[in-house]
């Protein structure tokens, strides 16, 4: 295990979610110990090139590489049996085709020796071609349901992405905003893992009906640390 | 003129009164001295220096000072500059830091800060990101916010920071980055003047720890255009919010 990985291991937070042990990794991914499952959400691969392809806006196309490198480090660190990408893995339906060969090879190397599951998202409704891995709309593992968009009517044991949660606090007159995990006893929403993604404040209306206000918690990610923040500390 | 009370009668009465109160509460620096005051205010600690070198030089000095303070683990939160002074604030008690010589004021204002610190700070600074946003807008890379389209505009504003970071990592010689640096060197920095000032004041720094704000510091405290520092202080604040304890060591 390399030095970097060791430092980060001590800084992640272990939580109990429906009798399962999950580690909230400060890189923005989730590791399920019992299942040896690494979950990442909203990679938005090839988002940079998508602007060029669709709108003629030429934005630097290196976001995919940055995201893949970050993902590779986490895979190396956790050595998971399974990797689950929780939707919006590709920024648009054609993004997997635009993926340069070197990145494809990088991905297949990561997939070697482990299961890889692509969950579909609103940005990538159809399965990526020639990339390997299995594809599904949502997946049930043990007592947890994984899907891209959180469903308010679904009550127990859901882990989702889609919303790119970020939280803001105000301390000593200074506000600090960070990507975060957000959840209560029944549902957990993952931060976006992609390097070229924004965030949506967890107090935004888009989260209405998803959490019970009483037990809402957010885990803010800053550098190599994860900070557990109670709901009353959060500001819009 | 500031240091010589005999000339004050040429000034308006309010100003000479202001200066005499300053003399009473703190120090009036002589011509070749640099006065540095430190005091607590609210739940922060302030450092105010009076180099009288003009806004541009002060802005650069602010970047460099906060960079050094960050590296010396003093957890600075931000700074602001005007034409005659610069104020830096943070989570640690500056008076105590300088008393314990961690760092000493001489170390902090050493001339060598114009070397590496300048390069590194520049690359990470918000000032440069803002300059980059202007360059990127002119180049047509991103669109300005338009009335009725605020949301799109804001999203791209946020992205210009991301683009800046991505370019810096992967294409440090990109033409937009070059332009940004040139623009910044022209508009934000006054390096020559700053260098002269630093060599002039070396070993002539007067430190005055105070219990509260001094009269001379009032205008700078009211100044607009504060620059924030994204550093360890933010993590310290997050930790305080999470645990209720302020960890500043």
What distances in angstroms separate CA B55 from CA A42, B82, B182, B199, B217, one per listed residue? 44, 5, 18, 19, 15
Highest mean pLDDT (candidates A66-80, A201-215, B219-233): A66-80
Position A3 pLDDT exceeds 60: no
% of chain B at pLDDT higher than 70: 82
Banded pLDDT at A1 (limits 50, 70, 90): very low
CB-based contact A66 B166, cutoff 8 Å: yes
- The confidence score (pLDDT) of residue B125 equals 67
Q: Which of B170, B235, B237 shows the shortest C-beta gap to A174?
A: B237
Banded pLDDT at B187 (limits 50, 70, 90): low
- The confidence score (pLDDT) of residue B123 equals 66
Instruction: Give the model confidence (pLDDT) of A112-153 as tens digits.
Output: 999 999 999 999 888 887 888 899 999 999 999 999 999 888
Cα distance between residue B30 and residue B200, in whole Å: 13
Position B88 pLDDT exceeds 90: yes
Position B153 pLDDT exceeds 70: no
Tokens of B202: 């070396």
Q: Answer whether B31's CB lies under 8 Å from B45's CB.
A: no
Alpha carbon B1 to its chain centroid, in Å, reads: 26
Q: Which of A178, A196, A227 shows the shortest C-beta gap to B239?
A: A227
How many inter-chain contacts (A to B, CB under 8 Å) are there?
75
Provide the strand spans (E) within A5-157. Answer: 13-17, 20-24, 30-32, 37-40, 82-86, 115-119, 134-136, 138-141, 144-147
- The confidence score (pLDDT) of residue B227 equals 75
What distances in angstroms separate CA A99 from CA A64, A81, A110, B245, one per listed residue? 9, 25, 15, 47
Q: Which residues of A touch B239 (CB under 8 A)?
A: 225, 227
Q: What is the DSSP letter of B216?
A: G
- pTM score, two decimals? 0.76
- The confidence score (pLDDT) of residue A190 equals 95
**B137 interface with A at CB cutoff 8 Å:** no
| Lowest mean pLDDT, pick from A10-24, A101-115, B98-112 | B98-112
Residue with tokens 């009668």: B9
Closest chain B residue by Cα to residue A224: B235
- Please give the mean pLDDT across all residues of chain B: 80
Banded pLDDT at A5 (limits 50, 70, 90): very low
Cα distance between residue A54 and residue A66, in whole Å: 22
């Amino acid at each position: 295990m390399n030095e970097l990985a060791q430092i980060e291991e001590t800084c992640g937070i272990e939580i109990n979610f429906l009798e399962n042990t999950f580690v909230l990794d400060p890189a923005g991914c989730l590791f399920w110990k019992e299942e040896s499952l690494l979950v990442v959400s909203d990679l938005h691969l090839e988002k940079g090139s998508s602007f060029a392809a669709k709108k003629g806006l030429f934005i630097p196309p290196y976001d995919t590489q940055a995201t893949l490198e970050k993902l590779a480090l986490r895979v190396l660190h956790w050595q998971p049996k399974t990797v689950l990408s929780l939707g919006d893995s590709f920024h648009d339906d054609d993004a997997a085709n635009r993926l340069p060969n070197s990145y494809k090879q990088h991905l297949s190397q990561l997939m070697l020796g482990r299961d890889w599951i692509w969950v579909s998202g609103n940005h990538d409704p159809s399965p990526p071609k020639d990339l390997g891995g299995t594809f599904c709309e949502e997946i049930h593992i043990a007592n947890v349901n994984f899907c891209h968009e959180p469903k308010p009517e679904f009550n127990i044991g859901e882990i989702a992405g889609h919303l790119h949660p970020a939280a803001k606090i105000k301390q000593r007159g200074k506000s600090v905003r960070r990507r975060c995990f957000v959840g209560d006893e029944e549902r957990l929403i993952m931060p976006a893992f992609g390097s070229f993604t924004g965030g949506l404040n967890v107090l935004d209306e888009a989260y209405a009906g998803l959490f019970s206000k009483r037990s809402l918690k957010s885990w803010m990610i800053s550098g190599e640390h994860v900070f557990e923040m109670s709901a009353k500390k959060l500001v819009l | 003129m500031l240091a010589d009370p005999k000339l004050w009668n040429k000034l308006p009465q309010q100003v000479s009164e202001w200066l005499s109160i300053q003399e009473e509460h703190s120090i009036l620096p002589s011509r070749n001295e640099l006065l540095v005051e430190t005091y607590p205010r609210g739940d922060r600690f302030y450092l105010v220096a009076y180099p009288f070198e003009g806004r541009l030089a002060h802005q650069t000095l602010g970047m460099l000072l906060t960079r050094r303070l960050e590296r010396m683990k003093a957890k600075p939160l931000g700074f602001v500059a005007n034409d005659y002074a610069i104020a830096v604030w943070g989570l640690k008690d500056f008076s105590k830091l300088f008393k314990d010589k961690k760092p000493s004021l001489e170390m902090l204002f050493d001339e060598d800060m114009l070397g590496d610190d300048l390069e590194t700070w520049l690359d990470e600074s918000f000032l440069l990101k803002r300059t980059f946003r202007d360059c990127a807008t002119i180049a047509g890379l991103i669109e300005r916010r338009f009335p009725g389209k605020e949301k799109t505009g804001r999203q791209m504003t946020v992205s210009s920071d991301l683009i800046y970071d991505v370019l810096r990592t992967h294409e440090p010689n990109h033409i937009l980055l070059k332009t940004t640096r040139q623009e910044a060197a022209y508009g934000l920095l006054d390096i020559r003047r700053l260098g002269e000032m630093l060599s002039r004041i070396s070993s002539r720094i007067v430190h005055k720890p105070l219990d509260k704000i001094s009269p001379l510091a009032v205008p700078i405290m009211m100044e607009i255009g504060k620059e924030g520092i994204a550093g360890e202080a933010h993590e310290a604040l997050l930790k305080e919010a999470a645990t209720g304890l302020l960890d500043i060591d």
